[in-house]
Amino acid sequence: MSQEILIGVDIGTSRLKAVATDLQLKVLAEYAEPTPWKHEKNFSDIDMLLLAKTVITVASKAAEIAGGKVVAIGFTGFSETGVLIDGAGNPLAPGLAWHDPRGITEPILKELGDFEFRARAGALLNEIATISKTLWLNDNFPATKKAKHFLSAPEWVAYCLGAEPVNELSLVSRTGFFDVESRKPWEEAISLVGGGKDYLARLVVAGEAIGIVNDKAPENLRGAVITIAGHDHFTAAYYCGAINEGSLFDSMGTAEALLRTFKSPLTRDAIAELAAANVGLSCSVIADHYTLLGALPTGLTLERTCSLLGVSTREEKIALGEAALKIDPSTSAMRVVNDYHGLSITNLDDAVSPGALFRATVEHLVDDSTEMVALMEKYTGKAESVIIAGGWIKNPVIAAAKEKQFGKFKVSDATEAGATGAAEFAGIAAGIFKLRTN
């Protein structure tokens, strides 16, 4: 008999990644392709049918490389990008990237209010939230005003494979269509985009079986149990053992994601305060839990600094980090200020050097991270353990700065934590594993 395998898929901003594992979660094969965005100036959108086709091909290729019989398949990924479908399941518009600036916030501010939005949606009112992107689509693709359902990207691909239309709690929490604290659809927000009472599909938790891969899919995926593994950062944290009460997960990718998971609900004032600082509240991938997600453009800023200095390879970045570690930051008045759009450098004095600039950048970014963690701990208490993932933590100056920030921490050696976590949730859906809650 063929070996039984699990497939985990991470629908990422840059890449679509799939891993095939055995039933002990040992990775047997992996495969990835670029996410097929269409880019024009600072706009990025995607043909949702092409996205589904490409993701399914990636999953099938990973299964082919591994061999064996696919028992279950799980999908994780970004949440704000999704699809508006009609009653027959057809896409009515392209999907807009989460970082795409096309969004309309004025009607949300006027009809719902800034505080109410932050307190109910657990998110900052800006162009990233799905509701603002949907308002833009309503204006530019009028058919979307009569959409039957909204599905996030992972839910859409699952639907294309034969799953029922669903909205997984951690994903829908990031849309603006959901009252996170009360865990139910936000009817006033949904009506703002013309949605009806079933605009959100059946609500499910991560790891819940939602269908079987149909006969239209590649042959090596047919018959597998399908599940949604939740938001990519949450899924990665779960796999790394850091989505439980008392743990802080620090994922240092393009964005630095800071996660704390807990059970007791927060007050509306607390949710609004956190959201104003770009710390979003979501339902977790563990039922009856919440997760705070704070995001900072840490990796993006480090890459921009490296580009400015002509540093591109991993070895060059390590050497730059070693040089930066020898710099005494108190000897220079140089300062770095950053956001998602760029960075500014001020007070370039006689102490300037590549190492000094990199050290100043790291010091500034860790200060921002420390401030955000302090706000999270105001409502969740001090973390008992810290787990850090991502390639940047292997840079010596960043590791030293994080040790100063947190004291002791553990570095996760998982290379594809999101996709492997999705495979674990696939196993949960198939009854192979039990959900870990600590």
Query: Could you tell me the sign of the dihedral formed by the alpha carbons of 222, 224, 227, 233, in that order?
Result: negative
The amino acid at residue 210 is I
Q: Mind giving me the DSSP string for 307-356?
A: HHTT--SHHHHHHHHHHHHT--GGG---EEEEETTEEEEE---TT--HHH
* pLDDT value for 390: 87
CA-to-CA distance for 4 and 19, rounded, in angstroms? 14
Nearest residue to 149 via CA among 183, 196, 96: 196
Nearest residue to 129 via CA among 169, 151, 98, 150: 98
Provide mean pLDDT across the span 321-327: 96
Percentage of the chain modeled with pLDDT above 70:
100
Residue 363, number of CB atoms within 10 A of its CB: 18
Tell me, yes or no, if the two domains 4-235+416-429 and 241-413 fold the same way: yes
Q: Which CATH class is domain 241-413?
A: alpha beta
Q: pTM here?
A: 0.92
For 246-272, write each residue's pLDDT tens digit: 999 999 887 899 999 999 889 999 999
Nearest residue to 217 via CA among 90, 53, 62, 67: 53
* pLDDT value for 340: 79
pLDDT confidence tier of residue 203, bands split at 50, 70 and 90: very high
Nearest residue to 25 via CA among 250, 239, 183, 172: 239
Residue 292 has pLDDT above 70, yes or no: yes
CA-to-CA distance for 389 and 56, rounded, in angstroms? 27
**Boundaries of every domain in the chain:** 4-235+416-429, 241-413
Averaged confidence pLDDT in the chain: 95
Residue 331, number of CB atoms within 10 A of its CB: 11
CB-CB contact of 410 with 388 (8 Å): yes
CA-to-CA distance for 429 and 296, rounded, in angstroms? 33
Widest pairwise Cα distance in the chain: 70
Alpha helix locations (H) across 216-277?
232-239, 268-276
For 293-313, write each residue's pLDDT tens digit: 999 999 989 999 999 999 999
More confident residue, 427 or 14: 427
For 34-69, write each residue's pLDDT tens digit: 999 999 988 999 999 999 999 999 999 999 999 999
For 374-403, write each residue's pLDDT tens digit: 999 999 999 999 999 988 999 999 999 999
Nearest residue to 424 via CA among 19, 16, 14: 19
For 169-184, write each residue's pLDDT tens digit: 999 999 999 999 899 9
Query: Could you tell me the sign of the dihedral formed by the alpha carbons of 228, 234, 240, 245, in that order?
Result: negative
For 3-20, write each residue's pLDDT tens digit: 999 999 999 988 999 999
* pLDDT value for 255: 82
* pLDDT value for 14: 87
Provide mean pLDDT across the span 409-413: 92
CA-to-CA distance for 124 and 400, rounded, in angstroms? 32
Q: Mind giving me the DSSP string for 39-77?
A: EETTEEEE-HHHHHHHHHHHHHHHHHHH-SEEEEEEEEE
Residue 238 has pLDDT above 70, yes or no: yes
Provide mean pLDDT across the span 184-201: 96
CB-CB contact of 213 with 73 (8 Å): yes
Residue 146 has pLDDT above 60, yes or no: yes
* pLDDT value for 2: 79
* pLDDT value for 1: 53
More confident residue, 348 or 213: 213
Residue 438 has pLDDT above 80, yes or no: no
CA-to-CA distance for 435 and 417, rounded, in angstroms? 16
Classify domain 4-235+416-429 at the CATH topology level.
Nucleotidyltransferase; domain 5 (3.30.420)
State which H helix or E strand residue 369 sits in.
helix 354-380
